[in-house]
Amino acid sequence: MTIDLPTACCTAAIFRRFTIWMSVHLQCSQIRPRARCQQCRKRFDLKRRNKKFCSEKCRKQHWQVSDRASHRKNSSDSKSKRRDNYELFDSILFLTERYRFTPTVEREAFIEDLIRSARQGAPRLRAAFTNPFFLQTEPGDLFRKVLRRNHLDESIVNIADRYCRKKHGSSLRQVCLRKT
Ligand SMILES: [Zn+2]
């Protein structure tokens, strides 16, 4: 009777140690390698060795962004239109940045130059200045979101439109399309 107790204790201790060891071993063998998503930078379980994104959404977003950066897109109809829009986006952002860094006293001349070029037929400028899409100012609009992402409140199109309404009494589009 006196021997039974320590033996039982000993067996229990060994068994307990064994179960702990087993559970640790099981947990370790279940740990998956993890990787960082190249789009949202969150960490995710790596199920396939060469996976780069945590989700389909991130994968698509990533390629859309890099496509825009390199101006590469397939040339099916809607896609080439979308590419044109992306390129216009980029041009407008570029001009807006330039406007922002133009000294205040030279800004009017800068705007005048742009409007003159658009009127004389500079194709992209004309397209950007006469497309109502780029005048959208609703907070949910796509272009507005792009501006926000670039820390801009409004684009050169909005600025030029306001200028035309004040100076010429008509919209930017009307001024650009006017024959005389
Ligand atoms: Zn992600």
- How would you class 118 by CB atoms within 10 Å of its CB: exposed for 0-12, middle for 13-18, buried for 19 or more? buried
54 C-alpha vs ligand 1 centroid, how far in Å?
4
53 C-alpha vs ligand 1 centroid, how far in Å?
5
49 C-alpha vs ligand 1 centroid, how far in Å?
16
Every domain of the chain and the residues it spans: 75-177
- How far, in whole angstroms, is CA 77 from its chain's centroid? 23
Answer yes or no: is pLDDT of 7 > 50: yes
- What confidence score (pLDDT) does residue 74 get? 46
51 C-alpha vs ligand 1 centroid, how far in Å?
11
First to last CA, the chain: 116
The pLDDT tens digits for 77-136 are: 677 777 777 788 888 988 999 999 999 999 999 999 999 999 988 888 998 899 887 876
Closest by CA position to 129, among listed 80, 178, 169: 178
The pLDDT tens digits for 131-153 are: 887 876 666 677 778 788 888 88
What is the reported pTM? 0.54
Coil vs helix vs strand at 8:
helix
More confident residue, 69 or 62: 62
Long-range contacts of 121-130 (CB under 8 A, 24+ apart): 124/87, 124/88, 124/91, 125/91, 126/176, 127/84, 127/88, 128/88, 128/91, 128/92, 128/157, 129/157, 129/160, 129/172, 129/173, 129/176, 130/172, 130/173, 130/176, 130/177
- What confidence score (pLDDT) does residue 162 get? 94
